[in-house]
Each structure stands twice: as structure tokens, then as C-alpha cells.
Chain A
Amino acid sequence: MISRTIVRLGVRSVFGRWRGALLFVLPLVLIAVSVLVRVLVGENETGAQHTLQGLGLVVIVPLVALLATSGLLAPEIDDGSVSYLLAKPISRYTIVMSKLVVAAVCVVVFAAVPLFIAGLVMLTSSPSLAVGFGVGSVAGGLAYCALFALLSVMSRHAVVIGLIYLLIWEGLLGGLLDGVRWLSITRWSEAVIGELADLELVEDLPVTYAVIATAVVLVLGTWLTGQRLRAFNLTGDE
């Protein structure tokens, strides 16, 4: 189900572009901020929680997912080199899932682990917060990857649409309108984190719903992306 060749090519395509460098910058910013918080405020649960939530979960996780996923599919579709992957007797779902494996590893390495480390830096005495944010960001990050993968095969402007979605829906409306929590990947991962770290990051959102919704986005996004690739139109410049 996973092609090692596509994974290998995917890793090189993510890190072979300037976007790859951003993947290293984002977690460094988070950890730097967490060190700053620890030095300035000391060990403070509210401060740690707000930093992990406001910077880590809302900004770093979706951006890492967007950078990793868009670096995997969109450039190849844009310049047509995806035809070298598609003109092969391999299932389109294998292609999508192999690409998503790379994106998932990026989410773990550049979002989940840094969130965990930042959590430990700010709140060393109570590691459950760090663990909660680490695990929650994996769930949210994976769902974002599947969503952005689908965007990549549907539009040439996947990165812009992804950013607008993050800013308007997840960021602005998610903060203003309570109802958005039912349809917000970040809110779902907050529910998961709340359950793990025994916090209430989001009100009135059952964790079961959050887990199922995350899984649905992940599975549906992957499947629809494969469907789109099965019907991929490749034409010349004419």
C-alpha cells in the first residue's frame, strides 16, 4: 500500500525547496518562545497552555501540515512531472498514501515533537500537558494533511486557499462563533488534548465526536484525493 520510491521522492521534494527550510524554522520559533515564557513567567500552567494552544496548535500545526502537503503534490501537478508517477501501473491510492506518509512524518517531527518539547520546557513538573498537546497535534495535523492533499489535486491555488481557510475559518470564525467547533479540525484536536491532559480547551465538544470527525476527514480526504488522481487530466500547452 505504500511505495518506498514515492516516499523517498516525496522527502526530497519537500526538502528540496525553500518551503522545506520553513519546516525547520517554525518549530524553532515555538521552542524559542517557550523558553522565553519559562524564563519570563516561570513555570505557569496558564501561560504554557495559552502558548501551546495559541501558537502551537492554531499556527504551527496547520502551517507545518500545509507546507509539507503542498510541497508534496502541488508543484508536481503544476509542472506536469506528476505524470511520471501516474504513468505507472500502481494504484492511485498508493501514491496518495505514500505522499501522506511523508506529510505525516513531517507533522510528527516538525509539529508534534516540538509541541511536546515546548510543553516540557514550560511545564516540566506536569508532563501530561506536553503529552496531550503532542498527541493532539498529531491527530489534528494528519487531518489537515488529508484536507490539504485534496485541495492540492483540486486547485492550482491550494496554498492560498489553504491559508485563507486557516485564517478565516479556523482562526477568525473559530474564535468568534461557537458553532464552528463542530467543523473545525483545530477544535477537534483541542477536545482530544483536553481529554488527555484533563483540561477544558473547548466547551461542549465530546471527545468521541472529535476523534470520529478527525478520522472521517483523514479517510475521506485520502480517498477523494485518490479519486481525483485516477481521473487526472494531463494535457500539453495547447
Chain B
Amino acid sequence: MTTIQIDHVSRWYRNVVAVNDITMTIGPGVTGLLGPNGAGKSTLIALMSGFLAPSTGTVTLDGDPLWRNEQVYREIGLVPEREALFDYLTGRQFVVANAELHGLPDPGAAAQRALALIEMTDAQDRTISTYSKGMKQRIKMASALVHDPSVLLLDEPFNGMDPRQRIHLMELLRTMGAEGRTVLFSSHILEEVEQVARQIEVVVAGRHAASGDFGAIRRLMTDRPNRFVLRTSDDRTMASALLADASVRGARLRSEGGIELEASDFGRFSEVLPRLAREHGIRLHEVTPTDESLESVFAYLVST
């Protein structure tokens, strides 16, 4: 049982606040750290891996400080976001070197075990510089797993992976979580996070925006007004028909043509819209959600 405790932590760079008064506990199982790019995810992972001092607050691993404490790396495996590796080594040499640096009794065997776990045994004797992005990602995983750590921190691990590798890594993370390890990975893609993580921590603009299982986060994101732009063969009739339905909260005819619409109940709206259009003999040319980008979803989460 290994737990990372972040307690009222802020971190700023000169006058830019990267992490703003965040308190969270990362326990055993898989936790997803979700947030748009630049939200402070990498800063948080750096704080949790002892590579950054908090400006205020404390970050501890089972009560021990993480900053300036190299002994914590016995427990931690870190997969950094940056791709740079020791390119002149082969995959196996790199993982063996990591095992040796951990002072493992049998570095060769530990490296083989880690390489087999991430399915890199076949490519282990190739130079890292010849690896694809996904292979580099996996060799980073092997180096982080070689000492069998109880905590695994991964910064955007799915970046650059093809679908098959993605599924394999997700499976691996689930297994490690099920084994009782504390696994935390960051991502800016909700679908990615909810497939793996039981617990999701949402970070936006340096603040802890939401926390909970993916059902709770999903509800926060979907039970809210959705905005659309419609272009139809008869905007005025369509707008009045839609306004009569309870799922629609507002509609506005745009001067340039089309309807701006706010739906309060997305499920019902998606069923009502085609039915009403058919009943009134209106042709739908375009239905575009205007705020479905993740950023706007997060903006909404923060404002509630």
C-alpha cells in the first residue's frame, strides 16, 4: 500500500502559477490525471516524482518527502513525457543500465522480465535511435518497471502509440492497478482515461477541478446545456418547433442564417430534433455542436 499525498500544494514559476492550491491523495489502483494541455499535469507529476519542489504545501510518499530524497525512487517508476533516451544504446542495454542503477541483484534477469512485460523482447537488440515513437514509449515503460516499483507515474503515456499498443498498455496499467500498485497517468483525452482509470482527477488551469470515478465526471460533463448551430431549409419554423419542446432552453436566429440553440437535455434533444424536422417537412443541412471541444467542457467544469 503506497500512497502519494499532495497537501495544499502550489507551484509557481516567477509570476506564472502552474499549480494552484491542490490537495489530492493518490492511492493504490489506477488514477487518471485529466486536463487540457498546459493545465499543470506535467508539473503535478514532476512534484509527485521528486523533480520539482512545491512553492507551498507538501508532497509525500507514505509520509516521506519526495523532494531531495533519492531513496523514494526505490518505490517509484517514472515514465517522463519527453522522448529523449540514450539513443546510442540498444533497448536491452538501456533497460539493463536502469536495473544496474537501481542496484538490483540480477540486472540482466530483471531487464528481460521488464522487456517481456511490455513485449519488446524481439526489438531489444536494436539501437533505440531506430525505434518508432510507440517503441520508445514502451522501452521507457520497461525502464520504469525494471525494479518492480509500487508506484508508477506516467506522463501522457499514450501519445504516439498505435491502437494495438494503446490497448496493450491499457491492459498492462489495469493489471498493475489490480495488483495493488499505485498507478497514475496523465492524459488530455477523456475517452482514454475512462477506459483505464477507476479514479479520475481533473486539473484545469492549475486548479483541481473535479475528482471521482468516471461516471461522476461524465455526468458533470453531460448534464449541462449543450450548444449547437443548426442550418435547415426553414430556420424560423424549426426554431419555433424546437422551442416548444422541454429539452430546448433557447434558440436564436442568426443574421447570417441558421439557428443558435441551447439544449438542456442532450439525450432527449437528440431524439426530438429529427422527429420534429420530419413532422414539419424541414430538411436539416447541418447540426454542429459549438462547445464540444474538451477545453469548453473543462471551462464548464471549472465554473461550477
Contact = CB atoms under 8 A, between A and B. Distances in A.
Interface of A: 3-6, 8-9, 12-13, 16, 79-81, 83-92, 230-238
B101 A5 contact: yes
Q: Which of B41, B51, B102 has its CB near the most chain A CB atoms (within 10 A)?
A: B51
A35 to B, nearest CB: 34
A89 B3 CA distance: 19
Contacts of A80: 80, 82, 84
B231 to A, nearest CB: 37
Given A87-B49, A234-B51, A235-B46, A12 B82 contact: no
A83 B97 CA distance: 13
Contact of B52 (A230, A233, A238): A233
Nearest to B107: A5
Interface residues of B, number: 39
B70 A91 contact: yes
B232 interface: no
B53 A87 contact: no
Contacts of A237: 42, 81-82
A13 B88 contact: yes
B85 A84 contact: yes
Given A83-B78, A92-B70, A238 B102 contact: no
B262 interface: no
A231 B102 contact: no
Interface string B101-121: 111000000000000000000
Interface string B65-103: 000101111101010111011101100000001101111
B143 interface: yes
Nearest to A78: B84
Interface in B2-42: 18, 37-42
B52 A234 contact: yes
B235 interface: no
B52 A235 contact: yes
B107 to A, nearest CB: 9
B201 interface: no
Contacts of A5: 97, 100-101
Nearest to A4: B100
Contact of A16 (B18, B82, B88): B88
27 contacts: A5-B100, A5-B101, A8-B97, A9-B97, A12-B89, A13-B86, A13-B88, A79-B84, A80-B82, A84-B86, A84-B101, A85-B101, A87-B51, A88-B101, A89-B73, A89-B74, A89-B102, A233-B46, A233-B53, A234-B46, A234-B51, A234-B52, A235-B46, A236-B42, A236-B156, A238-B37, A238-B42
B4 to A, nearest CB: 15
Nearest to B53: A231
